[in-house]
Structure 1
């Protein structure tokens, strides 16, 4: 994998297969690995959120999830082979864990969503060992949840909580979790549990997943995507002009 930097954020320009292989090697060696994916929204918010930026930069591997970031990096001259979508990487790593007997822990979503997500994961990967799961509304007693994760003896932890909460939670407690690998997966449990539909493949390839989410939840999403997409376009335009002048 080749590491690049875009708007102050380190990123690993990798294929899905390269990311899975690299992560698998570290888990087998019991090397703790903190993982994150970055998309347009996260990259934009990192510019003004120092704590989020610190949590992302602390990660051992930073995959690019979002065609906007892929295209932006390529426009600025970086060789980015493909997008590594968090939901797809999650499924690949579940398959990896199932074949090797690695227990996993699912953290996030509502109680019913994480329960359905756990059952759906087992349905997809029959030999998968779900060491435990917990909803994502635990901020009055974080330490108890951390202790439960550690007591479960899970090797992989997936955290489905909104940004920047999940990144900061992982970075804050990484030395206490007792796992070999931890990854923030955002709204993945909602997709796996069937609560939210994923965009069709053609929209994913065209970088229009954000539009599909707006179509599903217009009142909640339109301001968010309008703001972050506009700011990213401005950042990208300035960076491109700077390279031309340079």
Structure 2
């Protein structure tokens, strides 16, 4: 597998989807708890502003390039990033893996009716799937410890947390010692997609790096700051790192 690189202030594992699945299995078999993260332009921007978030992400044993913008930025800066490993695609692949290998997934997040529908859909599709448990993402902070204990009690192998960023990164990091889940990953709005509440962009837009635009036109007011302002900040950050690299080359 390719070696980890440092890109725009974030560690990144330049892996294919197949290599990522292999790494996930290694982590599950390791017997220790592990947190997984995917990075996109928005998360890279958040890391510039939040040192605690950056520390959590950079300490994860597996970090994938979720956004096509990260893949392009990496290549522009001279790194060999083989492909995008989108969080939702990895999520779906891992549920399939659970069915094949007998790993026990736990689904945590979204509204109760949504997470129930997600579990029903997966159970209907995968007859051998052994669901460790599930619950909605609406709770008080004082309930977090008991939720984490419950996740451990039911022998969870893979935890899918459907919160927004950076809440999911902070929550998993804070309670992973209690949960002791071999592999925990944040999946954002993936439950809503599986349940049919929201739609993903067409395949051609995903491959063209325009999935963000599809989401923007669906919810322009809510997504304007994240994508219009956020993309501008990301481009400025990439240009800054490119300038630093050029300066280093000249000094050599």
The C-alpha deviation readout for 1:128-151, integer Å capped at 9, x for no partner, is 111111111223311121122112
8 A Cα contact 1:24 1:96, kept in partner: no
The C-alpha deviation readout for 1:178-214, integer Å capped at 9, x for no partner, is 3211111111101111111001111011111111111
For the residues of structure 1 that align with 2:195 and 2:160, how far apart are their CA atoms? 15
Equivalent residues in 2 for 1:23-42, closer than 5 Å: 23-42=24-43
For the residues of structure 2 that align with 1:152 and 1:190, how far apart are their CA atoms? 24
Equivalent residues in 2 for 1:108-119, closer than 5 Å: 108-119=109-120
For the residues of structure 2 that align with 1:59 and 1:189, how far apart are their CA atoms? 23
Query: Which one of the candidate residues 200, 214, 219 is aligned to 1:212?
Result: 214
Q: Find the counterpart in structure 2 of residue 241 from structure 1.
A: 243
For the residues of structure 2 that align with 1:144 and 1:77, how far apart are their CA atoms? 46
Q: Find the counterpart in structure 1 of residue 175 from structure 2.
A: 173
For the residues of structure 2 that align with 1:85 and 1:20, how far apart are their CA atoms? 13
Q: Which runs of 5+ in 1 are unaligned?
A: none
Q: 1:241 to 1:178 in 2, by over 3 A?
A: closer
8 A Cα contact 1:70 1:82, kept in partner: yes
For the residues of structure 1 that align with 2:18 and 2:234, how far apart are their CA atoms? 28
Query: Is residue 132 from structure 1 mapped to residue 133 from structure 2 by the alignment?
Result: yes
For the residues of structure 2 that align with 1:168 and 1:114, how far apart are their CA atoms? 21
The C-alpha deviation readout for 1:72-112, integer Å capped at 9, x for no partner, is 01000000000001111111111111111111100011111
SS for the counterpart of 1:174 is helix
Offset at 1:120?
Answer: 1.6
For the residues of structure 2 that align with 1:200 and 1:122, how far apart are their CA atoms? 26
For the residues of structure 1 that align with 2:22 and 2:133, how far apart are their CA atoms? 25
Q: Find the counterpart in structure 2 of residue 52 from structure 1.
A: 53
For the residues of structure 2 that align with 1:169 and 1:71, how far apart are their CA atoms? 30
Q: Find the counterpart in structure 2 of residue 152 from structure 1.
A: 154
Query: Is residue 95 from structure 1 mapped to residue 96 from structure 2 by the alignment?
Result: yes
The C-alpha deviation readout for 1:109-133, integer Å capped at 9, x for no partner, is 1111111111122233221111111
> How well do the aligned residues superpose, as a CA RMSD in angstroms?
1.2
Offset at 1:54?
Answer: 1.6
Query: Is residue 4 from structure 1 mapped to residue 12 from structure 2 by the alignment?
Result: no
Offset at 1:22?
Answer: 1.3
For the residues of structure 2 that align with 1:29 and 1:167, how far apart are their CA atoms? 21
Offset at 1:3?
Answer: 0.5
